[in-house]
Amino acid sequence: MTNDKFMKMLIGGEWKERPERIAVRNPFDNTLVGEVPAAGVEDVKAAIDGAVQALERDFPLHARYDVLVKAASLVDHRQEEYAHTIAHEGSKTIREARREPPRAANILRLSAEAGRRLTGETLPFESRVGSENRVGYYFRFPVGIVSAIIPFNDPLALAAHNIGPAIAAGNSIVLKPSALTPLSVLMLAHDLMDAGLPKGRLSVVTGRGSELGEAMVSDPRVRVVTFTGGVDVGLQISRWVGIKKVIMELGSNSPVIVMDDADLDRAVPAIAAGAFAQAGENCLGVQRILVHERVYDGFRDRFVKHVAGLKAGHSMSEDVDVCAMLTEKEARRVESWVKEAVEKGARILTGGRREGAVLWPAVLEDVPGGVRIDCEEVYGPVVSLYRVASLDEAIKRANRVDYGLHAAIFTERLDNAFKAVSGLQYGAVIVNDSTDYRLDVMPFGGTKLSGVGRQGIWSMIQEMTETRVVCFSL
């Protein structure tokens, strides 16, 4: 272990240590990957104090642009170091982890460009009788302080997704990564500071959400709160947050519809990748597969054969497809959900075996309605197959859960595609790909319990700014 993995947190532009530290461990074998300080509530307050002070110093748009672009280049220059860190501390294989640094660098560049497009427009005051002698416009200005709480599954990309828009829009941001995957986020903070980010514009507070959560969101000086995580924590945050802007992404139970005209050669590998990437710990992961009865048997046999061929093991093995879940506790929880479904009539077609935090990719059928694996977010490497007689039935079954983040359909018919687009109550409908597709410039979010507001670079810049109207009476 290199010394740079025993990292300090960034508070108001200063790298801080604390007597208590949090160990970061590899989920597969529990080896020590690094350590970070265990922050307290006073550290959150100090970070917000620093954010307030930073806003008092000028940080013009061209300088914000330069910092983000330079930081992106620094991320590019050590992509493999980032990838190894992500694969060691989280639930991604090394091949999956290698996709995250270039994505994060691109997010920073796109944020920089979006910041230069943040404009207002003139207003037609003479459209009202008596206002003929008035002219004016509106423009957008920073909200001030953003507080962000991000999860473990895409630590680097989600940090960039919050930091990039916040900085591009002219704000300060206080960010808390998962206590289980903070190392790559702190690496990004180093690159941003090395790129010239002024002190206080970014703080990264490392600690436990149960201890820091209320302080992160309740301070009245914070004007925007972003949170990605589970519904229960989202509900608690909504009680703490007060009157401020809130953006939440709270997970899903994502369905894929496979119609009788679908290209199965395309559908089978795409759906499997969407279900089992990142050990299934992915808010966009496929959880339910609704297959037309005319192709159900053929799809099931091909899909099960494909999944049975996936290799589970250590995240650093180049040929591993599914690595350990983040903790053995989570793997045990998912295993118990599978057992509950089986006890009530479901059948395991492949997988389901567990060793420590590794759960072999599982495919179930005959899953009864109402069991947790059917109606809640499993957040693990498990999918369920359902036989449907029509597209109408598939849409109805897809909509019956309390989530609505992403849904997908495989079909060769435009009328089927557009019917699904109209009928599925989700934030996005993906045609001829799995639900696990996200473009970083798209408005990202869902309906129902999947959250409120929209993430995505431009959407977040809009949320992280306010409009101000200017009117001249001539």
Amino acid 4: pLDDT: 66
Query: Does 242 share its domain with 334?
Result: no
Residue 56: both structure tokens together: 């008092």
pLDDT over threshold 90, residue 3:
no
Question: Could you tell me the residue range of the domain that residue 341 belongs to?
Answer: 254-443
pLDDT tens string 202-215: 999 999 999 999 99
Residues 336, 202 share a domain: no
Beta-carbon contacts of residue 322 (< 8 Å; ≥ 6 apart): 93, 276, 279, 280, 310, 311, 312, 358, 360, 361, 381
Residue 100 sits in the same domain as residue 148: yes
b/e sequence 384-411, b meaning 16+ C-beta within 10 Å = bbbbbeebebbbebbbebebbbbbbbbb
3 or 304: which carries more pLDDT confidence?
A: 304
Same domain, yes or no, for 57 and 113? yes
Residue type, 53: Q
Q: Is the pLDDT of residue 360 over 90?
A: yes
* Residues 459, 418 share a domain: no
Whether residue 471 lies in the annotated active site: no
My answer on whether 209 and 318 are in the same domain is no
CA nearest to 147, candidates 246, 18, 13, 252:
246
3-class DSSP state for residue 288?
strand
- 466 catalytic, yes or no? no
* Catalytic residue selected from 35, 96, 100, 249: 249
Mean model confidence pLDDT for the chain? 96
User: CATH no. for residue 185?
Assistant: 3.40.605.10
pLDDT at 5 over 80: no
Residues 434 and 294 in one domain: yes
**Within this chain, do residues 150 and 281 fall inside the same structural domain, yes or no?**
no
Which of these is catalytic: 89, 96, 283, 365?
A: 283
CA distances from 74 to 35, 67, 187, 196, 302 (A): 23, 11, 10, 12, 44
pLDDT at residue 1, rounded to an integer? 32
Q: 312 and 224 in one domain?
A: no
Q: Are the beta carbons of 427 and 447 closer than 8 angstroms?
A: yes
Tens digits of per-residue pLDDT, 29-70? 999 999 999 999 999 999 999 999 999 999 999 999 999 999
Same domain, 89 and 196: yes
- Kindly report, residue by residue over 269-279, the tens digit of the pLDDT: 999 999 999 99
Per-residue pLDDT band for 84 (boundaries 50, 70, 90) equals very high
pLDDT tens sequence across 377-405: 999 999 999 999 999 999 999 999 999 99
Residues 227 and 319 in one domain: no
Question: CA–CA separation, 458 vs 110, rounded Å?
Answer: 9
Q: Are residues 385 and 360 located together in one domain of the fold?
A: yes
Number of domains in the chain: 2
What pLDDT sits at residue 35? 97
CATH code for the domain of 279: 3.40.309.10
